[in-house]
Structure 1
Amino acid sequence: MPSFRVVDAFTDRPFAGNPAAVLVLDGGYDPAWAQRVAAEFNLSETAFLRPADDPGAHYELRWFTPVTEVSLCGHATLAAAHALFEEGAKWLADPAGPIRFRTLHSGVLTVRRQDGLLWMDFPAHAPVATDVPEGLERVLGTQPVRTALGGTGDLLVEVAGESVLRGLTPDIPGLGAFAERGVIVTAAASAGAAHAFASRFFAPNAGVPEDPVTGSAHTVLAPYWAERLGRRAFEAVQCSARTGRLWLDLPTDPPGRVRIGGAAVTVTRGELLA
């Protein structure tokens, strides 16, 4: 029977950040079974790993919410790498990595250990400015400052400040009408904060009303705030009830990528009996 771990990602302490279940399998599996397992865990994501079929990667990685498979997930990638490093990745030429994951829709993703964090190398998805959709202010509960469409299938919405962001109580099912995947709501950090910006992420269409910490949303947020702030590296906070902290870096070579750093903690180990 396969073993599993539940890992809290983008945090250095248990019961914070974003939990993901991770299953490391010996071979192939039925995606319908994987979907049932993800529904059983009922976490925002469950990561499934199996040895990759090609020499350019170590593992194939797929991610499932309780209701659907997704094309990119940051926190469950971080959790998967943490689980492999924790087991002792003796098959790596360099003990710091990178671990290479083959994915179905996002190419090869790498994760490396550096400076006490795990650093993921993801494609950046610079958002395209758009007019504020009609009805969004009513559903969100505040007037948007700017909106943009991200390549992840998300609508990015900037609001007036971090205090406004933290106080939002939106019509979460209603937000599902405004994006294919989810709605990223963001604001510049309050004065004196260590982080540069904060965010929240709502994905009712994926079965995740509010995600605690969303790495993939930061592939949109990083280039958005880089343009707004004139910086290429910054710290960010996702201010859900569990809270997560991320470090972001947009390299110039190669362009079009974003490095996302974070910590992770294993909170549960067990065995799946079905």
Structure 2
Amino acid sequence: MKQFIVDAFTDIVFKGNPAAVCLVEQPLTDEQMQLIAIENNLSETAFVQAAADGNGFDLRWFTPGSEVDLCGHATLATAFVIFNECNFKESTIVFHTMSGDLFVNRVENGYEMTFPAYELTEVPVTAAMEAVLGVCPEEAYMGRDLLCVLPDESFVTDYEPKSEALLMLDGLLVHTTAAGSNGFA
């Protein structure tokens, strides 16, 4: 099996969002994939192999703690490896995932990805949110992840997360946003 470390969302070494990409040639067990993700110790390790029917690729993502159902930067990293290291000639890659089929298109200046959108439902702002974030959100929404709308973009740009505290909140991940000078931060 070949493995690559790819910095997504950048063209500068040691910048962006790193992900491991494993090109699977022989089947791996869930336990083996989890152990590889633990060893890599990156936010996600992607495992990709040609689909059995020859149409696209099967793609799974593991964090050091568990398998996740969707990961954008690791999908982009996987597409980069397939296009550039595997000499994939088509302009579109189809990934079969737990979240359905995902498409990555090679375009002139990079790649375009098509992903499912999680439906968000407004939820009450809680004292726990304020305690963890250090500011009371103006609004909060739940999909797979918790999204908190903060009163000012400086709260988003200056926030230094405390991983242990974030685990107190509902949702797989916690996202923050605020109205900024050019839209949303």
Pair 1:144–1:100, CA change in 2 (3 A) = same
Q: What count of residue pairs does the alignment treat as equivalent?
A: 184
Task: Please report the RMSD computed on the Cα atoms of aligned residues, expressed in angstroms.
Answer: 1.5
Distance in structure 1 (CA, Å) of the matches to 2:21 and 2:100? 20
Q: CA deviation at 1:128?
A: 1.3
Contact 2:128 2:168 in 1 (8 A): no
Q: CA deviation at 1:161?
A: 1.9
Answering whether residue 136 of structure 2 is matched by residue 143 of structure 1, we say yes
Contact 1:46 1:64 in 2 (8 A): yes
Identity between Structure 1 and Structure 2 (%)? 42
- Give the alignment's TM-score, normalised by structure 1: 0.64
Which residue of 1 is the match for residue 35 of structure 2?
36
Q: CA deviation at 1:181?
A: 0.5
Q: CA offsets, 1:46-66, max 9 Å, x none?
A: 0001111235x3110000001
Which residue of 2 is the match for residue 178 of structure 1?
169
Q: CA offsets, 1:149-203, max 9 Å, x none?
A: 12xx2110011222121222344322212223111111223x2x5xx423xxxxx
Distance in structure 2 (CA, Å) of the matches to 1:172 and 1:44? 13
Which residue of 2 is the match for residue 161 of structure 1?
152
Distance in structure 1 (CA, Å) of the matches to 2:107 and 2:152? 32
Match of 1:108 among 81, 91, 101: 101
Which residue of 2 is the match for residue 210 of structure 1?
none
Which residue of 2 is the match for residue 117 of structure 1?
110
Which residue of 2 is the match for residue 132 of structure 1?
125
Matches for 1:1-274 after TM superposition, within 5 Å: 2-55=1-54, 57-87=55-85, 88-90=87-89, 92=90, 97-103=91-97, 105-150=98-143, 153-189=144-180, 191=181, 193=182, 196-198=183-185
Q: CA offsets, 1:59-85, max 9 Å, x none?
A: 100000011110111100000000011
Q: CA offsets, 1:189-240, max 9 Å, x none?
A: 3x2x5xx423xxxxxxxxxxxxxxxxxxxxxxxxxxxxxxxxxxxxxxxxxx
Which residue of 2 is the match for residue 235 of structure 1?
none
Distance in structure 1 (CA, Å) of the matches to 2:151 and 2:158? 11
Structure 1 segments unaligned to the other structure (5+ residues): 199-274
Structure 2 segments unaligned to the other structure (5+ residues): none
